[in-house]
Amino acid sequence: MTTLKNDRFLRALLRQPVDTTPVWMMRQAGRYLPEYRATREQAGDFLSLCKNAELACEVTLQPLRRYELDAAILFSDILTIPDALGLGLYFETGEGPKFQKVVRTEQDIAQLPKLNASSDLDYVMRAVSTIRSALGGAVPLIGFSGSPWTLATYMIEGGSSRDFRYSKEMLFAKPELLHALLDHLADSVTDYLNAQIDAGAQAVQIFDSWGGALAHQDYVDFSLQYMQKIIKGLTKEKDGQRIPVIVFTKGGGLWIPEMLESGADALGLDWTTPLAQARSQVAGRVALQGNLDPATLYGTPKAIEAAVKRMIDQAYANGEKTGYVANLGHGITQWVDPAMPKVFVDTVHEYSQKYL
């Protein structure tokens, strides 16, 4: 077992002392990097890139060569599970992900196979083990999945959606069907994340990208309770090390009290949630992660530095000295100048030391 050279990310998630605030970026491997675009072109297309362990490893490592990041995150996609369940994932240029089949009836749900992630998504596990080996203990590796509700919306709508017409129709007209689908997906996600942990992931994040589209009680009933079920079923320790779990609900800042009961070690926040207020609400019970507006990185170095300092000031306003991971409030966008994330990362490391 390789000893981690830099474990401050894991330490912060477990609210242990750190020397400086750890930082990583959602979608840190992506289209804003010219080297990523070149590797994707080499692969042929996005899915081929995901399914090639060596190339997935290469793009995972690319941002770590540019920036002093404190964690690597598996390069993959949240829609690998629906694809493995037989829905036929494909990507239309300029339109995002789509599925050849949708899930809208009782029969559709009954016909979904039971996922065996180790075999059905073996290419993901090969990528995890390849990346973990290539990292050589430099920083921890994060595995991830979409939340059951988020995955369900893509499966029901057949792709991305702005109004979730069919998903919400099922929720209100046939809630028992939606619960059956979500239960199936919770089992699938649990198996998927445990397989990633077995392959070498040292922390995992559940991306509840569309949880914020739900009304209050619906969020609790149709999203949060299924993430809670997943967390209960996850491997808690591997090779003598705790495996922290992060839950990130975009638009979920109003549900912090409810999310505190999820069993997660950390909650991710988007940029709409005041960080100092969130720290006060969780009162040291869980770590927090976030929450710089990704669009900040369109700004000048001076503007980025000022925004990052405000975020750090809020993170430590209540006197806590750990339990915080700096990140963007959502994924970095393709239009960011690759020079700007360095300003973000370096400012986090340098400025936060005054509090620690």
Residues annotated as part of the active site: 27, 31, 40, 77, 154
- Whether 29 has a binding-site annotation, put simply, is yes
CA dist., res. 66 & res. 48, Å (int)? 24
Burial 241-268 (b: 16+ CB within 10 A, else e): eebbbbbbbbbbbebbebbeebbbbbbb
- Whether 77 has a binding-site annotation, put simply, is yes
In the three-class reduction of DSSP (H, G, I as helix; E, B as strand; rest coil), residue 241 is classed as: strand
- Whether 179 has a binding-site annotation, put simply, is no
Tell how many helices (H) and how many strands (E) occur in the chain: 17, 11
**Which residue from 283, 266, 277, 282 is spatially nearest to 327, judged by alpha carbons?**
266
Rg (CA), the chain: 19
Report the alpha-carbon angle 1-75-228, nearest 5: 80
In the three-class reduction of DSSP (H, G, I as helix; E, B as strand; rest coil), residue 326 is classed as: strand
Query: What does the block give as tokens for 326?
Result: 């700096």
- Whether 30 has a binding-site annotation, put simply, is yes
In the three-class reduction of DSSP (H, G, I as helix; E, B as strand; rest coil), residue 100 is classed as: coil
- Whether 27 has a binding-site annotation, put simply, is yes
CA dist., res. 130 & res. 251, Å (int)? 34
- Whether 28 has a binding-site annotation, put simply, is yes
CA dist., res. 268 & res. 281, Å (int)? 14
- Whether 154 has a binding-site annotation, put simply, is yes
Query: What does the block give as tokens for 211?
Result: 């949880």
DSSP letters for 329-353? SSPPPTTS-TTHHHHHHHHHHHHHG
- Whether 44 has a binding-site annotation, put simply, is no
- Whether 123 has a binding-site annotation, put simply, is no
26, 87, 90, 104, 178 from 165: Cα distances, Å: 28, 19, 21, 12, 14
In the three-class reduction of DSSP (H, G, I as helix; E, B as strand; rest coil), residue 305 is classed as: helix
For residue 228, the Cα-to-chain-centroid distance in whole angstroms is 16
Binding site members for substrate: 27-31, 77, 154, 209, 330
Annotated binding site: 27-31, 77, 154, 209, 330
